[in-house]
Chains A and B, each alone.
Chain A
Amino acid sequence: MDEVICLGIESTADDLGVGIATSEGAILANEKSTYTPERGGIHPREAARHHSAQVGSVLDSALAKAGVGPKEIDVIAFSQGPGMGPCLRTGATVARALSIYLDVPLVGVNHAVAHIEIGRLATGAEDPLTLFVSGGNTIVTGYEAGRYRIFGETLDIAVGNCLDVFAREAGFPYPGAPEVERRALKGERFIPLPYVVKGMDLSFSGLLTSALEKLRSGRYRVEDLCMSLQEVAFSMLGEVTERALAHTRKPELLLTGGVAANRRLQAVMRAIAEEHGAESYVVPLEYALDNGAMIAWTGLLAYLSGVRTPVEESLIRPRWRLDEVEIPWLR
């Protein structure tokens, strides 16, 4: 079969990404433009405005980087959900227009599936237990009988959101989570904070509230708070991941999503994999944060398994759950 080329558009939150992937598993381009709020968190409509203003130039630079002309694109993929409505809508509109204009099929991709698939492609993991951690997601998942089953997830906010909000309140520049990681390295004293694990689920809202109270009290070194916040959050993630690993007996452990860039979390996951005799994999930095390449690659996998998303079924799905998606390419 001839090589198939897919262009993927990611726009679930603050990143607008365009990636180009081939059926050989090559990523030809992975371009992006990130919306930065002037203050506070991501404002969905502001982010969407940024995406629609930037999408033309990001598309151009992706095509140029890949050395591919528009006519050589065989499939258009887009992140259909889950994510922020206005942001998703912008990406979906562009994807539909491209699909009609170029007269090629359209494939709607689940954003969480894409984070797992790019992790598998980039690391070579085959059937991993996956911890997917980002600003909007905290999920422990593994493939079984046609789907990625969810073994554990957050009951309230995502771990990345917890770190970001703390960073913002501490006055760190946006995005703040990497600064929390840097400050944590200078932490000396562990400050007890609420540790909430329920079965294989987690809750971070009480942890965040307590860390913010201690921050505002001014009685603690901010470095100690950063260290303690990370230690408690990552120990919670470690515990549920370890439970899921013992439960599923998967031979591999994959860490993916934006928070996968954190070296302390990587060390926790490595230690757990080692203890259970599993191989440990971490998604490379360029594919950890939201990106277009993961949408292009996952769209290709779906396309090659016969998945198509007719325009009339291409409405965005802001709350599309990972475990609702059929995964025919792993069968």
Chain B
Amino acid sequence: MASVGGGRLIARGAEAELYLQRPWLDREVLVKRRVRKRYRVPELDRRLREYRTVREAEIIHRAKELGVPTPVIYLIDIPRTTVYMEYVRGRRLRELLDELPREERLDLFHRVGVLVGRLHRGGIIHGDLTTSNMILTEDGRICFVDFGLAEVSEEVERRGVDLHLMRRMLISTHYGYAAECFQSFLQGYREVMGDAATEEVVRKMREIERRGRYVSERVEDGDG
């Protein structure tokens, strides 16, 4: 496999640099390299990057088994904290949502709810559910591309945090239609998880939102 040097930098996120490499066996290859952060002490920096590199690849594999579209992993280079994976063509939900008619937008969130339900039922917590991490592919699938903060857990607490992050991201970034999208998301989630488990997770989500020191007592109003 060629080195990262052969790739073209296409994005620099907070945590990793993404390179698009020359096709390998006719496949477009995305190289995700977790870069050193100078503001972290070296011991902590190394530990975080290696742990996340390995865990992300493992969980991406498990997600596929649960019926959640994720990129194909080609190679993991632990010393260089780099993962070589399939380049997923499509558009990020974040950039797409404003252009869509309301019905299509709600349908997308319903489908995202189904996918998150599958992850949770299968014991995976995503850890960073944002519309920047979901790609609508050219063949119409929703592909989850970033599992850097994912964990293996069946705890209600962790599931509640996942839903809280989803809801808060909607409120902060897609404030124009956050409430109805979250409702649609929950419907999809409920179809997979069932009524009882969904109620339990939503109750936990509300508890988490009240736990922060200065959360409004009126948080249960409206959505969620």
Q: Is B128 an interface residue (CB 8 A)?
A: yes
Q: Which of A112, A197, A319 has the most CB of B within 10 A?
A: A319
Q: Is A53 an interface residue (CB 8 A)?
A: no
Query: What separation, in Å, do the CA atoms of A82 and B215 have in the docked complex?
Result: 9
B1-53 interface (Cβ within 8 A of A): 12-15, 37-41, 43-44, 47-48
Are A323 and B172 in contact (CB-based, < 8 A)? Answer: yes
Partner of A199, one of B37, B129, B216: B129
User: What's the nearest-Cβ distance from chain B to residue A299, in Å?
Assistant: 20
**Residues of chain A contacted by B43 (CB below 8 angstroms):** 190, 192
User: What's the nearest-Cβ distance from chain B to residue A45, in Å?
Assistant: 18
Are A231 and B127 in contact (CB-based, < 8 A)? Answer: no
Are A151 and B213 in contact (CB-based, < 8 A)? Answer: no
Query: What separation, in Å, do the CA atoms of A330 and B164 have in the docked complex?
Result: 28
Are B214 and A319 in contact (CB-based, < 8 A)? Answer: yes
Contact with A along B161-192 (1 / 0, CB 8 A): 10011001101110100000000000000000
Are B39 and A246 in contact (CB-based, < 8 A)? Answer: no
Query: What separation, in Å, do the CA atoms of A322 and B213 have in the docked complex?
Result: 12
Interface residues on A, range: 35 or more
Instruction: Contacts A231-B41, A272-B39, A320-B216 given; indicate if A149 touches B161 (C-beta within 8 A).
Output: no
Partner of B214, one of A136, A198, A247, A267: A136
Partner of A319, one of B40, B165, B217: B217
Are B214 and A201 in contact (CB-based, < 8 A)? Answer: no
Query: What separation, in Å, do the CA atoms of A165 and B40 have in the docked complex?
Result: 23
Q: Is A64 an interface residue (CB 8 A)?
A: no
Query: What separation, in Å, do the CA atoms of A234 and B13 have in the docked complex?
Result: 19
**Residues of chain A contacted by B214 (CB below 8 angstroms):** 81-83, 112, 136-137, 318-321
Interface residues on B, range: 35 or more
Partner of B13, one of A195, A201, A246: A246
Are A201 and B161 in contact (CB-based, < 8 A)? Answer: yes
Query: What separation, in Å, do the CA atoms of A190 and B47 have in the docked complex?
Result: 12
A150-169 interface (Cβ within 8 A of B): 150-151, 153-158
Q: Could you list some 18 contacts between A and B, CB below 8 A?
A: A82-B213, A144-B172, A155-B161, A190-B41, A190-B43, A192-B43, A199-B169, A200-B165, A201-B168, A231-B44, A235-B37, A239-B14, A242-B14, A246-B12, A319-B215, A319-B217, A321-B214, A323-B172
Q: Using CB atoms and an 8 Å cutoff, list the residues of chain B in contact with chain A.
A: 12-15, 37-41, 43-44, 47-48, 127-130, 132, 149, 161, 164-165, 168-169, 171-173, 175, 208, 211-217
Q: Using CB atoms and an 8 Å cutoff, list the residues of chain A in contact with chain B.
A: 81-83, 112, 136-137, 144-145, 149-151, 153-158, 190, 192, 195, 197-201, 231-232, 234-235, 238-239, 242-243, 245-247, 267-268, 271-272, 318-321, 323-324
